Amino acid sequence: MAISPFEERYRTEMNEALDDWNKIKKWMEVEVALAKVHAKMGTIPKDAPAKIEEAMAKVKPERVKEIEDEIHHDLMAMVKALTEQAGDAGKHIHLGATSYDIEDTATALIFRDAIGILEKHMDSLSLVIKNLAKKHKKTVCIGRTHGQHAVPTTYGLKFAIYYQEMKRNMERLMAAKKRIMVGKMAGATGTMATFGVMGPEVQRLVMKELGIEAAKASNQVIQRDRHAEVMCVLAITAATMEKIAKEIRNLQRTEILEISEPFGKKQVGSSTMPHKRNPHKTERICSIARLVRANVITAIENIPLEHERDLTNSANERAIFGESFIAVDYMTKQLTTILEGLEFFPENIEHNLELTNGLIMAERLMITLSNKGMGRQEAHEKVRTLAQQAFREKRNLKDLAKENKLLSDKELDEIFDPKTYIGAAEKIVEDATKE
């Protein structure tokens, strides 16, 4: 059985992009690109790159593992396995390169593919959120601040906020993608000594072959601020999804129950309480988000490597890169499914709007009094006093306002209709979702 839940339980198509065998294949792609540049420059035979490229398909993961068990070096295990299959051209593999010329350049290729997968799924999620915003732009509900009833808002506005945040996450991801799509062919300390004066041109041409940029300066590794930035963006994206999931969880509470994650006909909520409809899918999203955030700490600590590099980043990156990409991809797909099947309970939304006996309209009453000539502070104190009385005596604030003849009955009836106190919410939703 798998040790990591990301191998099976939370598996997505992202796994193939991040698994060890794909990493080795990317290493071989970089080796082929290097060979092609050598051939163009006349440092190896013209037919060598084609032979090396053909040999890639013959390399087996078992053989690479077998060699690594003998020599204890994963990159050189790949080089030896590829050399075995390339015939005479094998002697030209890895010419002038150091391990991390290959590994870090391949990591850029892997990140490019992984971000591409995530981009597709984030687009799908954003579309679902956008549609919910538009569909519910007139669904008035109570807004809450500090966990308390505040003033009315709409579900459309909630989702419009999420939609805009997901757009920003996509922008962050694209900016980070640009900075992570960078490779190097600079040797052991970044001087390109093995390639001589042609080093910068070798590096430029290899990266052009692979479709990525060349690092303007590096040591033995691509600097880890680039990788840390991607990890931070993944964590921010995870936090956005956690925010949405947490809102669903809280609004699914028995006492509130305005919305709910979908619950299947045969789904079991509890092993002992048959009635339970636990929000376990949204809870799972919140749980996984913590792991993604935790991995950011490790990624940031990988930035200050010693001198021209040490190996303290290597082992943990085998875990954090794959975990974080797969986790965020899983969260994205899971949240998309949840939102597609999100249940609304209009009667409870309506009930909760009236739960405080009109107290949520105190702000509107105060503003109206101020607009009619009463000083703002006087209006605030007058309404505050009546609101506290209404709370203590469990009476409706509108009734107390009528008794105190603050305004006409008709005016007060209009003021205390929560569905007419949503300001520009509809227009905000329309503007936020029209891109």
Tens-place pLDDT, residues 43-72: 999 999 999 999 999 999 999 999 999 999
Tokens 């949840």 locate to 338
Q: Is there a domain that residue 269 lies in?
A: no
Distance CA 372, CA 351 (A): 31
pLDDT by residue (tens digit) across 132-160?
Answer: 999 999 999 999 999 999 999 999 999 99
- Domain end position, chosen among 81, 97, 113: 97
155-180 and 99-135 helices, crossing angle to 10°: 160
Same domain, yes or no: 41 and 152: no
Same domain, yes or no: 388 and 323: no
- State yes or no: pLDDT of 269 exceeds 90: no
Mean pLDDT over the full length of the chain: 95
Q: Is there a domain that residue 287 lies in?
A: yes
pLDDT by residue (tens digit) across 186-244?
Answer: 999 999 999 999 999 999 999 999 999 999 999 999 999 999 999 999 999 999 999 99
Q: Quick one: pLDDT at residue 282?
A: 96
Range of the domain at 57: 6-97
Q: Quick one: pLDDT at residue 271?
A: 67
- Of 19-28, 266-275, 406-415, which range is least confident? 266-275
Read off the DSSP letter of residue 215.
Answer: P
User: Residue 2 — very low, low, confident or very high, per pLDDT cuts 50/70/90?
Assistant: confident
Beta bridge partners of 396: none
C-beta separation of 113 from 9 below 8 A: no
Q: Quick one: pLDDT at residue 328?
A: 98
- State yes or no: pLDDT of 274 exceeds 80: no
Same domain, yes or no: 349 and 364: no
Q: Quick one: pLDDT at residue 302?
A: 96
Q: Which two tokens stand for residue 15?
A: 């796994």
Q: Is there a domain that residue 91 lies in?
A: yes
pLDDT by residue (tens digit) across 385-435?
Answer: 999 999 999 999 999 999 999 999 999 999 999 999 999 999 999 999 997
Report which residue type is found at 187: G
Same domain, yes or no: 24 and 61: yes
Q: Is there a domain that residue 166 lies in?
A: yes
Same domain, yes or no: 172 and 207: yes
Share of the chain above pLDDT 70, in %: 98
Same domain, yes or no: 123 and 143: yes
Distance CA 422, CA 196 (A): 69
Q: pTM for this structure? A: 0.94
Same domain, yes or no: 341 and 222: yes
Break the chain down into helix, strand, coil percent, rounded to 5: 65, 5, 30
Cβ-defined contacts of 422-425 (< 8 Å, 24+): 422/140, 422/152, 422/153, 422/154, 425/137, 425/153, 425/154, 425/156, 425/157
CATH number at residue 343: 1.20.200.10
- Domain end position, chosen among 43, 64, 97: 97
Tokens 């390169």 locate to 97
Helix (H, G, I), strand (E, B) or coil at 153: strand
- State yes or no: pLDDT of 15 exceeds 80: yes
Q: Is there a domain that residue 1 lies in?
A: no
Same domain, yes or no: 171 and 49: no
Helix (H, G, I), strand (E, B) or coil at 140: strand
Q: Is there a domain that residue 63 lies in?
A: yes
Same domain, yes or no: 107 and 157: yes
Domain count, the chain: 3
CATH number at residue 75: 1.10.275.10
Q: Is there a domain that residue 64 lies in?
A: yes
- Domain end position, chosen among 70, 97, 124: 97
Q: Quick one: pLDDT at residue 433?
A: 96
**Exposed / middle / buried, residue 395 (Cβ in 10 Å: 0-12, 13-18, 19+):** middle
User: What are φ and ψ of residue 358, in 5° steps?
Assistant: 85, -5
Same domain, yes or no: 318 and 382: no
Same domain, yes or no: 197 and 123: yes
- Exposure string over 105-117, b if 16+ CB within 10 A, otherwise e: bbbbbbbbbbbeb
Same domain, yes or no: 252 and 108: yes
Active site residues: 146, 270
